[in-house]
Amino acid sequence: MTDERASAPPGGRPSQVRAGADTFPPYAEGNMFTRIVHLTLKTNAAPEFAKVLEREIVPKLREEPGFQDELLLITPGGPEVMAISLWDDREDAENYARSGYPQVLRVLERFLEGTPRVETYQVGYSTLHRTGPSEFLKESPITTPVPGVGGG
């Protein structure tokens, strides 16, 4: 028996979560996605960057369909920042990339050195968001043996 209930991380939007070990959504249907943005801050920009992120960027993210969470990882004393956003699915992440992200960049560009680098990934597993293992983790889509490892 599955028990559907809404859950949401602090500041995130509720998403449907199925309870039970064998009820996780399949790979192609509704697996969470993440966008990882690598940023380099200008000298002495960190304090103002943090204020703008909290007061302007995060509230805008919370309005985006499918947004779940934002994590900000920093290099202590350094200029490197990694912003990780979690989305209900690939479509939500891609819609944000086309519409919301360019606006966010315009707000943040005064704090940035160079061009941010963006990576996207399917979330393979999350204890916080109660996702089950994605199909990728159950059966890897890699079908060609790597040279020197089991076949070539």
pLDDT in tens, 119-149: 999 988 777 755 555 555 555 555 566 677 6
CA gap 11, 60 in Å, rounded: 12
Other beta carbons within 10 angstroms of residue 13's beta carbon come to: 17
Instruction: Classify residue 84: in a domain, yes or no.
Output: yes
**Domain limits for position 79:** 29-126
Which CATH number goes with the domain that contains 117? 3.30.70.100
Helix (H, G, I), strand (E, B) or coil at 111: helix
Q: How far is CA 29 from the centre of its chain?
A: 17
Q: How many domains does the chain have?
A: 1
pLDDT value for 31: 83
CA gap 55, 57 in Å, rounded: 6
Instruction: Classify residue 151: in a domain, yes or no.
Output: no
Instruction: Classify residue 24: in a domain, yes or no.
Output: no
- Sequence-distant (6+) residues with CB within 8 A of 29 are none
Instruction: Classify residue 95: in a domain, yes or no.
Output: yes
Tell me 54's DSSP state.
I
Percent of the chain with pLDDT over 90: 56
Instruction: Classify residue 137: in a domain, yes or no.
Output: no
Instruction: Classify residue 14: in a domain, yes or no.
Output: no
Model confidence pLDDT, tens digit, residues 55-96: 999 999 999 999 999 999 998 888 999 999 999 999 999 999
pTM comes to: 0.68
